[in-house]
């Protein structure tokens, strides 16, 4: 991690000690952006070009237990019950993040993580993972950080992790400060008990190009990216209006349009970034056909091939009939509907 990231951590933790407890177990939900984050103004601090707004996925996310490891020279890590070699991508990213909080050079962490969403497949597992890590180090050392402080720390590991500290609708403020202390996420005072999110897994395989590299590639090579900030500003305003009015059709239209606009930027990147698989396109066509026939169903997609369905409780039976394998989450019910 960069020196700038260490300075942010030092500011957040100023005056707090580093006495570790035996262990801490926490959970953070994955989130799906309805208005997307794509592009950074500062890579070292994961500061976004634009704001974004997401819905958290309740029981779909990351469970993390963090403690002190008395063993070998490296941190000890498990993911979904499997020991991870120190050179694995997950272990390297997690250890680099934990370096920001390591109280002494010889302090080693024991990390056991379990994801209830596919890892590195466009289901925001890095968001829930780093949000859970931020919560875990806070609980392990007993700092008692605020949600805003945790959001800033989680963002250092993965930008969208800033939005995975809270349930419900969450807005990530892009901020303007060079040090990123005004770039954090907070929950909106809006609930929508009837809202349902359907996780349609087309592929659980790790994507070939990660979001970090994909964003950089798009910002550097896509000539249409200059239009993206204005598009996001309009979509954020329209989405907030839809939330205020509980206008589901407007919510769905904004989310689907914003996702397609982001994927259009990716396709116009050089070399092109195309995450969709044939099954992805087939699902989109099925959704459009069903909506044309009167079903209030929309979708969104992150940087991956998997599709997230947006609908209301009254239409759940019809959506399940259309997509029998879908996992349905009720974000405001406290449990998923399986």
- 295 vs 87, residue with greater confidence: 295
Q: How far apart are CA 329 and CA 116, in angstroms?
A: 12
Sign of the four-CA dihedral 120, 126, 129, 130: positive
- 334 vs 198, residue with greater confidence: 198
* Helix (H) or strand (E) run with residue 327 in it: strand 327-330
Lowest mean pLDDT among 27-41, 58-72, 117-131: 117-131
- On whether the CB atoms of residues 274 and 54 are closer than 8 A, the answer is no
Q: What is the pLDDT of residues 8-37, one digit of tens each?
A: 999 999 999 878 899 999 999 999 999 999
Predicted confidence (pLDDT) at residue 119 exceeds the cutoff of 60:
no
Quote the pLDDT of residue 121. Answer: 42
Compute the 3-state secondary structure of the chain and give helix, strand, coil in percent, each to the nearest 5.
40, 25, 40
- On whether the CB atoms of residues 23 and 70 are closer than 8 A, the answer is no
Beta strand extents in 37-98 (DSSP E only) = 40-42, 47-48, 52-68, 76-79, 82-83
For the entire predicted model, the pTM comes to: 0.92
Average pLDDT, the chain: 93
Q: What is the pLDDT of residues 220-272, one digit of tens each?
A: 999 999 999 999 999 999 999 999 999 999 999 999 999 999 999 999 999 99
Predicted confidence (pLDDT) at residue 47 exceeds the cutoff of 50:
yes
């Amino acid at each position: 991690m960069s020196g700038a990231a260490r300075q942010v951590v030092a500011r957040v933790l100023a005056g707090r000690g580093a006495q570790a407890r035996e262990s801490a177990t926490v959970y953070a939900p994955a989130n799906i952006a309805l208005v997307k984050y794509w592009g950074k103004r500062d890579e070292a601090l994961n500061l976004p070009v634009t704001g974004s707004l997401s819905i958290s996925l309740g029981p779909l996310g990351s469970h993390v237990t963090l403690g002190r490891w008395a063993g070998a020279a490296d941190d000890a890590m498990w993911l979904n019950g499997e020991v991870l070699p120190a050179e694995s991508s997950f272990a390297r990213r997690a250890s680099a993040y934990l370096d920001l909080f390591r109280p002494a050079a010889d302090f080693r962490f024991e990390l056991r993580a379990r994801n209830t969403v596919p890892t590195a497949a466009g289901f925001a597992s890095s968001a829930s993972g780093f949000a859970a890590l931020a919560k875990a180090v806070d609980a392990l050392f007993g700092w008692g950080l605020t949600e805003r402080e945790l959001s800033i720390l989680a963002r250092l590991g993965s930008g969208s992790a800033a939005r995975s500290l809270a349930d419900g609708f969450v807005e990530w403020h892009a901020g303007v400060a060079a040090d990123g202390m005004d770039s954090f996420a907070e929950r909106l005072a809006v609930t929508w008990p009837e809202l349902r999110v359907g996780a349609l897994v087309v592929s659980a395989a790790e994507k070939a190009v990660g979001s970090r590299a994909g964003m950089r590639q798009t910002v550097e090579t896509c000539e249409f990216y200059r239009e993206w900030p204005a598009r996001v500003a309009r979509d954020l305003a329209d989405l907030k209006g839809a939330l205020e009015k509980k206008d589901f059709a407007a919510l769905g239209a904004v989310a689907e349009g914003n996702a397609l606009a982001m994927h259009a930027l990716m396709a116009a990147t050089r070399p092109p970034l195309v995450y969709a698989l044939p099954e992805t396109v087939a699902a989109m066509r099925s959704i459009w056909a069903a909506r044309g026939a009167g079903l209030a169903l929309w979708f969104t997609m992150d940087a991956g091939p998997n599709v997230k369905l947006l609908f209301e409780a009254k239409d759940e039976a019809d959506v399940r009939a259309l997509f029998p394998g879908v996992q349905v989450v009720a974000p405001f019910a406290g449990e998923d509907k399986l």
